[in-house]
């Protein structure tokens, strides 16, 4: 008797390349109940027409309202996580996804982080922040192993 594993996935990322990379995993995540936590922009509002998308504010760590928006997004993300109750959080970064990973870890969810394909020879800030709590940390370039010795080399997701 074959038993299917029932998992719920949270796909957390910012816009642009981070979202594009995460969406490359669609053949995998579409097999499971899933939802996105990402930034509120036209692109993600369009995605919300076909996917379960939870929106947070876009933040920039160099702007005056960074701390306010970080706290706001963290509270919103916590509410999303408590409502959806995922088993696993998969993230490609960046900044607004970091609180999702930390909050999820505190709630007992597994965290998988995929370091950005664009970073060949140096780590991202979000990668450095999430590395210490990730249950699985995947790099797309072998050169990054010097920064993330416990990472798994997964190759390109493109």
**What is the percent of the chain where pLDDT is above 90?**
85
Beta pairing class for 136-139 and 88-93:
unpaired
In a domain, 1, yes or no: no
pLDDT at residue number 119: 85
Beta pairing class for 33-39 and 136-139:
unpaired
Res. 1 pLDDT band, cuts 50 70 90: low
Res. 2 pLDDT band, cuts 50 70 90: low
Sign (positive/negative) of CA torsion 47, 119, 90, 105? Answer: negative
pLDDT at residue number 111: 98
In a domain, 3, yes or no: no
In a domain, 99, yes or no: yes
Residues for the chain: how many in total? 158
Domains held by the chain: number: 1
In a domain, 158, yes or no: no
Looking at per-residue confidence, does 104 or 95 come out higher? 104
In a domain, 2, yes or no: no
In a domain, 16, yes or no: yes
In a domain, 140, yes or no: yes
Summary mean pLDDT of the chain: 94
* pTM score: 0.93
CATH number for the domain that contains residue 41: 3.40.50.2000
Range(s) of the domain holding residue 67: 8-153
């Amino acid at each position: 008797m074959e038993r299917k594993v029932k998992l719920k996935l949270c796909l957390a990322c910012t816009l642009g390349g981070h979202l594009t990379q995460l969406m490359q995993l669609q053949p995998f995540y579409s097999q499971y109940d899933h939802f996105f936590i990402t930034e509120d922009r036209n692109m993600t509002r369009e995605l919300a027409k076909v996917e379960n998308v939870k929106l947070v504010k876009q933040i920039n760590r160099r702007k005056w309202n960074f701390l306010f928006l970080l706290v706001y997004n963290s509270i919103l993300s916590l509410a999303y996580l408590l409502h959806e109750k995922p088993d696993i959080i998969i993230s490609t970064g960046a900044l607004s996804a970091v609180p999702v990973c930390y909050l999820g870890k505190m709630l007992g969810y597994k965290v998988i982080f995929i370091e950005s394909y664009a970073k060949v020879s140096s780590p991202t800030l979000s990668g450095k922040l999430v590395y210490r709590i990730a249950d699985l940390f995947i790099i797309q370039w072998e050169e990054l192993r010097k920064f993330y010795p416990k990472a798994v080399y997964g190759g390109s997701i493109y």
